[in-house]
């Protein structure tokens, strides 16, 4: 058990892909914001909540006060101890564009008992995780769906999650705020690679991320494995904060990534938006634009990562031979103990055999546009001669 009484690595196998999917209610993610963060989001978007969503905005406005109060209580109870918590082992960052297999890679890495991770509850309720997670995980499992809407992978309070959601809930600039108001321009342009942040915003971003990771480390002192696609474009800042960090980068065929990412943003806009999404062209342009930001920034900065702390792999190779690819990951970033970890990896793979990914059709015009705008990245990773 860890300092606040939560079991270690409560990751369970994915439910069989063929099992029925429940249609069920789940909260809007913005219900995890405290009042200041919620007000900041509304102001940035000129209070453009559409009438069918006013009741949701009213509920968020009320509950955000309770989050703010509980954040103060948590700080009073744990703040000094969290601030004194050392991060002896710097994080391992799983990076890559959305829909490239970062979730799968994250799931596989955290099977190793030496690692911990931010779970869904810690990412959606970062303001008071230590105070409330035991109660919520025990009695409120109904509040989250069994599966993610974009790909039917397993979901739940204890499943591994992106720390970018926690940064959103802490009121920091993020590209993820775009799907709160999907018909408006981005509220935080330049937040993906942090280039659009003012000096004071960047200082706050680094401070809040560090405090959040200290909180996770206080909760469970094992080495953190973090997964968040936006971090792919933030290597210099992450290295400044965590000089001994490791980075594992996964790539996938861009002709598959494009329609899958469009589907992701559409699903998140429908599920968590405070407007009814009506501008698919803007979503497609967002995907085209942010793909360039992610791969351009990574290419410009991955040379800053010291040798032996960066490893790159292909999604297609990972699903074809996961044991060999995970062995290469461990060697590539200087992790020992692969043979001790291997039985858990093989057991997980056996239990989850048969999972099928979504498939998408590309028109000829879409394929030509992807080739025109992403061609250099497609050639860099040798996908120019691959089937879609």
Tokens of 296: 């351009």
Q: Tell me if 283 sits within 8 A of 129, measured CB to CB.
A: no
CA distance 388 to 383: 9
Give me the pLDDT at residue 359, please: 76
Q: Of 49-63, 169-183, 297-311, 344-358, where does mean pLDDT reach its minimum?
A: 344-358
Q: Among 219, 167, 173, 214, which Cα is nearest to 193's?
A: 173
pLDDT mean across residues, the chain: 89
Number of other residues whose CB lies within 10 A of the CB of residue 12? 10
* 107 to 117, 119, 326: CA distances (angstroms): 10, 11, 12
Contact 93, 35 (CB under 8 A): no
Give the count of beta carbons closer than 10 Å to the beta carbon of residue 299: 12
Q: From residue 138, how far is each of 8, 156, 157, 158, 199 by CA, in Å?
A: 15, 12, 10, 11, 41
pLDDT single digits (tens) 282-328: 999 999 999 999 999 999 999 999 999 999 999 999 999 999 999 99
CA distance 187 to 174: 8
Q: What does pTM read for this prediction?
A: 0.89
Please state, in angstroms and rounded to a whole number, the distance separating the CA atoms of residues 367 and 388. 9
Distance CA 222, CA 170 (A): 23
Residue 147 has pLDDT above 70, yes or no: no
For the chain, state the CA radius of gyration. Answer: 20
Q: How far is residue 71's CA from residue 65's CA, in Å, rounded to a whole number? A: 10
What are the tens digits of pLDDT across the range 57-83?
A: 999 999 999 999 999 999 999 999 999
| Residue pair 159/120 in contact by the 8 Å Cβ criterion | yes
Q: Give the residue with greater pLDDT, 324 vs 359.
A: 324
pLDDT at 2 over 60: no
Residue 135: Cβ within 10 Å count:
9
State mean pLDDT over 356-377: 90
352 — pLDDT class (breaks 50, 70, 90) = confident
* 138 against 4, higher pLDDT: 138
Asked whether the beta carbons of 57 and 274 are under 8 A apart, the reply is: yes
- Say what the pLDDT of residue 251 is: 98
Query: Structural domain boundaries of the chain?
Result: 29-356
What CATH code would you report for 29-356? 3.40.50.300
Confidence of residue 220 (pLDDT cuts 50, 70, 90): very high
Pseudo-torsion of CA 203, 207, 209, 212, nearest 10°?
-160
Q: Would you say residue 20 has pLDDT above 70?
A: no
Burial class (CB in 10 A: 0-12, 13-18, 19+), 243: exposed
Structure tokens at 79: 């703040």
Question: Residue 157 — pLDDT band, cuts 50, 70, 90?
Answer: confident
Give the percent of the chain with pLDDT over 90: 81
H or E, element range at 247 = strand 246-251
Q: Judge whether 150 and 179 are in contact, CB under 8 Å.
A: no
13: pLDDT strictly greater than 90: no
User: What is the average per-residue pLDDT within 190-207?
Assistant: 97
pLDDT, residue 307, reads: 95
Task: Give me 50's structure tokens.
Answer: 């559409």
């Amino acid at each position: 058990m860890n300092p606040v009484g939560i079991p270690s690595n409560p990751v369970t196998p994915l439910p069989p892909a063929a099992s029925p999917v429940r249609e069920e209610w789940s909260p809007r993610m913005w219900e995890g914001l405290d009042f200041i963060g919620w007000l900041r989001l509304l102001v940035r978007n000129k209070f453009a909540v559409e009438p069918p969503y006013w009741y949701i905005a009213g509920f968020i406005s009320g509950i955000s006060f309770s989050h703010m109060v509980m954040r103060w209580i948590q700080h009073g109870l744990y703040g000094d101890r969290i601030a004194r918590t050392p991060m002896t082992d710097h994080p391992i960052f799983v990076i890559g564009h959305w829909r490239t297999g970062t979730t799968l890679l994250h799931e596989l890495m955290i099977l190793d008992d030496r690692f911990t991770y931010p779970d869904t509850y810690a990412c959606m309720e970062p303001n008071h995780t230590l105070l409330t997670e035991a109660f919520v995980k025990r009695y409120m499992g109904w509040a989250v769906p069994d599966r993610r809407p974009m790909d039917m992978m397993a979901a739940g309070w204890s499943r591994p999650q992106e720390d970018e959601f926690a940064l959103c809930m802490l009121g920091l600039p993020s590209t993820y705020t775009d799907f709160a108001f999907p018909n408006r321009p981005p509220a935080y342009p330049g937040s993906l690679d942090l280039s659009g942040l003012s000096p004071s915003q960047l200082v706050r971003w680094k401070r809040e991320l560090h405090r959040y990771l200290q909180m996770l480390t206080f909760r469970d002192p094992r080495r953190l494995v973090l997964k968040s696609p936006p971090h792919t474009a933030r290597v210099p800042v992450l290295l400044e904060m965590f000089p001994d960090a490791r980075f594992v980068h996964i790539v996938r065929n861009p002709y598959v990534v494009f329609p899958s990412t469009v589907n992701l943003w559409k699903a998140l806009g429908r599920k968590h938006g405070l407007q009814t999404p009506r501008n698919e062209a803007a979503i497609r342009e967002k995907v085209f634009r942010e793909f360039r930001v992610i791969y351009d920034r990574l290419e410009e900065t991955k040379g800053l990562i010291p040798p032996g702390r960066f490893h790159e792999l292909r999604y297609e190779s990972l699903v074809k031979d996961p044991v060999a690819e995970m062995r290469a990951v461990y060697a590539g970033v200087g992790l020992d103990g692969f043979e001790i970890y291997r039985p858990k990896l093989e057991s997980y793979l056996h239990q989850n055999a048969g999972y099928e990914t979504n498939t998408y059709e590309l028109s000829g015009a879409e394929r030509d546009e992807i080739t025109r705008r992403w061609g250099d990245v497609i050639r860099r990773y040798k996908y120019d001669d691959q089937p879609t």
